[in-house]
Amino acid sequence: MEKKNIGGWFEIPVTDMERAIKFYETVFKIKLSRHKMGTLYMAWFPWAEDVNAPGASGSLVHHPDFYKPSTEGTLMYLMS
């Protein structure tokens, strides 16, 4: 069976981007890559180019009209 990441991408909605970045960088001892695209602000988690690497990459996401944190969970894209 071919090995590959099942998770392709995840998005964690946040209301306070700087606070969220500090939290995840501290907990995981990583550096997030900041990207502002108009009113959309993303902070990408590091990833491995090798599709056989465990896990998936994703982003913290802040937008004034979309991506509201909720009890409904995080958005995750799965690979087939």
- Spell out the domain ranges in the chain: 7-78
Longest dimension (CA), the chain: 43
For the structural domain made of 7-78, what CATH number should be given?
A: 3.10.180.10
The structure tokens listed for 60 are 């913290």
Query: Is the pLDDT confidence value at 53 over 90?
Result: no
Instruction: State the average pLDDT over residues 61-67.
Output: 86
Residue 78 to residue 56: CA distance in whole angstroms:
9
- This prediction's pTM: 0.74
Residue 45's contacts (CB-CB under 8 Å, 6 or more residues apart) are 24, 30, 32, 57, 58, 59
Q: Give the model's pLDDT for residue 22.
A: 96
In which band, very low, low, confident or very high, does the pLDDT at 67 lie, cut at 50, 70 and 90? confident
The structure tokens listed for 23 are 């939290």
